[in-house]
Amino acid sequence: MINQEEVEIIRDLIRDFFDRAGFFVDVHINIGSKEDTDILDANIKTTEAQSLIGKQGLVLADIQLLLRKAIKKKINRDFYISIDIDNYKKNKEDYLRDFAQSIADEVSRTKKEKELPLPSSFDRRIVHIELEKRKDVLTESIGQGEDRKIIIKPAI
């Protein structure tokens, strides 16, 4: 498990990263574990969230990748890291879950499949996980790259 000293090193590294980029941030870190893997969730609070999140979260994804590599190099330990800015990812997950359930209800009612253009693997994963619990619909990913989509269809 990640210890308190490592948490402080990580917090300082994240603050330094944003300071050097010219952004004032407040860093909140939660540590957990799942299936023998340590999980570090860092939520960054800032007044300039939109600039740091970018269109469809692309800047945030790049920031997470850079910070993941820097943190792993600094503390020399393997663990899962999730960086969020002003709860953007959490809010997006909540929206995607509600959206997926709404579309699944429609598919179940009409018995007609629906196609959702979700090029992000993060978005598709949330929809698949949310709907795998349902017995009345099935999900399937089709396409390649940015043309990837999810098909929600009635279960037979």
Domain with CATH 3.30.300.20 in the chain: 4-86
Crossing angle for the helix pair 121-131 and 88-110, to the nearest 10 degrees: 50
Q: How many residues does this entry show for the chain?
A: 156
Give the HSE-up count for residue 122: Cα atoms under 13 Å, Cβ half-sphere.
Answer: 13
Which residues belong to CATH 3.30.1370.50 in the chain?
91-154
Q: What pLDDT digit, counting tens, does each position of 55-107 carry?
A: 888 999 999 999 999 998 998 888 888 999 999 999 999 999 999 999 999 99
Percent of the chain with pLDDT over 90: 74
Q: How far apart are CA 80 and CA 138, in angstroms?
A: 29
DSSP state of 87: T
What is 91-154's CATH number, 3.60.21.10, 3.30.1370.50, 3.90.1330.10, 3.50.50.60? 3.30.1370.50
What is the structure's pLDDT at 34? 81
CATH fold, domain 4-86, is GMP Synthetase; Chain A, domain 3 (3.30.300)
124-150: average pLDDT: 92
Whole-model pTM over 0.85: no
